[in-house]
């Protein structure tokens, strides 16, 4: 197998392990008559063969996009109970009617107690019009204390009952929770933020590598958001930025699949090309240039600012919500996440401070970005 220079960097970093997770399109798999040029990888110890480009259906999925994705060989679909207060799952379930056996379906719960997790699962199954999901994630668990014994026990019970085949964790800070996940030893899948803009951090890379080595299937999210858009439109957007971004992520064979949110069929058809096209020097130049342009605007989720605000503002979280709007053009998702913050946090106004006590090592203009988020979503 030939590797380009970027792929060799992964090798030198120790991130490429024996290629047990790589699946060629000539291998046998559970889904018949898939199109040519579709790449599959094994999702860790689950044994599931997943398309390297999946679909994050988002808050407002388009049934036509879902149908077209299946036609193109995409077989991994990711949603969540809280997306659109359940509307995402309902639309997805309707779109998958008669096609459930063709896809691998993942959803998530915000529940912390057994009763809440069980309640969410029943609601998800009803909305998705299925009697089981393939992967059930504890959603947005960014610190070890959010992955409680009770929540793990609940997931194990659902697995034993056949309501989910596998269990997982979704996280924005994989380094913070990797040791805890490995110590628990119960999870099959981890879904984490990973992209050109944020993926190069050594601690994130190292955490992904260790989880992969332990047989945990790795799913990348937030893959294209940094190159997908910017609401003020004062930055030149690369037309094929999302395609380049997905190709970069797939250079790392520890990543089995990606779940970019796709708004329309044109975007989908561009994104799936990443399964067949090589990462090029032109892609690298495009992503590098874009990364420099958005440096003051886009949070890299390094979490260096965690706990440093004297007013307890969760800086990374609020900047992430703002990115949903500024880069993803999804105001409802951004506002919904912001309004889930505790009242005492939402009442803090960064405009009351003459300067920010926290400096971003990546050059993000923290104060002005937080002011924008608080004005938009309050």
User: How many Å apart are CA 44 and CA 215, to the nearest integer?
Assistant: 5
Q: Is 83 one of the annotated active-site residues of the chain?
A: yes
In angstroms, what is the C-alpha Rg of the chain? 20
Q: What is the greatest pairwise CA distance in the chain? A: 62
Catalytic residue among 83, 212, 303, 324: 83
**C-alpha closest to that of 35 among 25, 48, 47:** 25
Half-sphere exposure of 133 (CA within 13 A, CB side): 31
| Cα(66)–Cα(59) distance, integer angstroms | 13
What is the three-state SS of the chain?
A: CCCCHHHHHHHHCCCCCCHHHEECCCCCCCCCCCCCCCCEEECHHHCCEEECECEECCCCCCHHHHHHHHHCCCCEEECCCCHHHHHHHHHHHHHCCCCHHHCEEEEEECCCCHHHHHHHHHHHHHHHCCCCEEEEEECCCCCHHHCCHHHHHHHHHHHHCCCEEEEEEEECCHHHHHHHHHHHCCCCEEEEECCCCCCCCHHHHHHHHHHHHCCCEEEEECCCHHHHCCCCCCCCCCCCHHHHHHHHHCCCCCEEEECCECCCHHHHHHHHHHHCCCCCHHHHHHHHHHHHHCCCCCCCCCCCCCCCCCCCCCHHHHHHHHHHHHCCCCHHHHHHHHHCCCHHHHCCCHHHCCCCCCCCCCCCCHHHHHHHHHHHHC
Q: Which tokens go with 50?
A: 């997943």
Catalytic residues, which ones? 83
């Amino acid at each position: 197998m030939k590797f380009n220079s970027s792929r060799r960097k992964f090798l030198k970093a120790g991130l490429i392990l024996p290629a047990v997770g790589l699946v060629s399109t000539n291998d046998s798999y559970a889904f018949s008559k898939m199109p040519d040029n579709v790449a599959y990888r094994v999702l860790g110890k689950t044994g599931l063969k997943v398309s390297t480009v999946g679909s994050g259906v988002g808050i407002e999925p388009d049934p036509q996009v879902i149908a077209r994705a299946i036609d193109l060989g995409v077989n991994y679909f990711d949603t969540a109970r809280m997306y659109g207060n359940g509307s995402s799952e309902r639309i997805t379930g309707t779109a998958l009617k008669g096609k459930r056996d063709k896809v691998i379906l993942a959803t998530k719960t915000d529940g912390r107690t057994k009763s809440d997790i069980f309640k969410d699962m029943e609601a998800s199954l009803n909305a998705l019009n299925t009697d089981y999901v393939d992967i059930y994630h504890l959603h947005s668990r960014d610190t070890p204390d959010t992955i409680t014994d009770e929540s793990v026990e609940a997931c194990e019970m659902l697995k034993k009952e056949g309501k989910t085949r596998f269990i997982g964790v979704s996280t924005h800070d994989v380094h913070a929770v990797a040791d805890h996940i490995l110590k628990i030893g119960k999870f099959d899948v981890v879904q984490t933020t990973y992209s050109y803009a944020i993926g190069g951090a050594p601690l994130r890379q190292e955490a992904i590598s260790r989880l992969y080595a332990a047989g945990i299937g790795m799913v990348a999210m937030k893959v294209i958001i940094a190159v997908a858009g910017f609401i003020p439109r004062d930055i030149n957007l690369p037309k094929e930025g999302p395609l380049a971004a997905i190709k970069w992520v797939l250079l790392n064979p520890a990543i089995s699949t990606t779940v970019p949110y796709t708004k329309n069929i044109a975007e989908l058809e561009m994104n799936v090309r990443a399964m067949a096209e090589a990462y090029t020097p032109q892609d690298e130049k495009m992503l590098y240039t874009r990364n420099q342009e958005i440096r003051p605007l886009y949070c890299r989720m390094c979490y260096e600012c965690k706990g440093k605000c004297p007013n307890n503002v969760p800086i990374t979280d609020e900047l992430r919500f703002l990115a949903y709007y500024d880069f993803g053009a999804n105001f409802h998702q951004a506002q919904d996440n912001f309004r889930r913050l505790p009242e005492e946090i939402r009442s803090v106004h960064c405009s009351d401070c003459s300067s920010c006590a926290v400096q971003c090592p990546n050059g993000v203009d923290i104060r002005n970005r937080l002011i924008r988020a608080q004005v938009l979503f309050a």
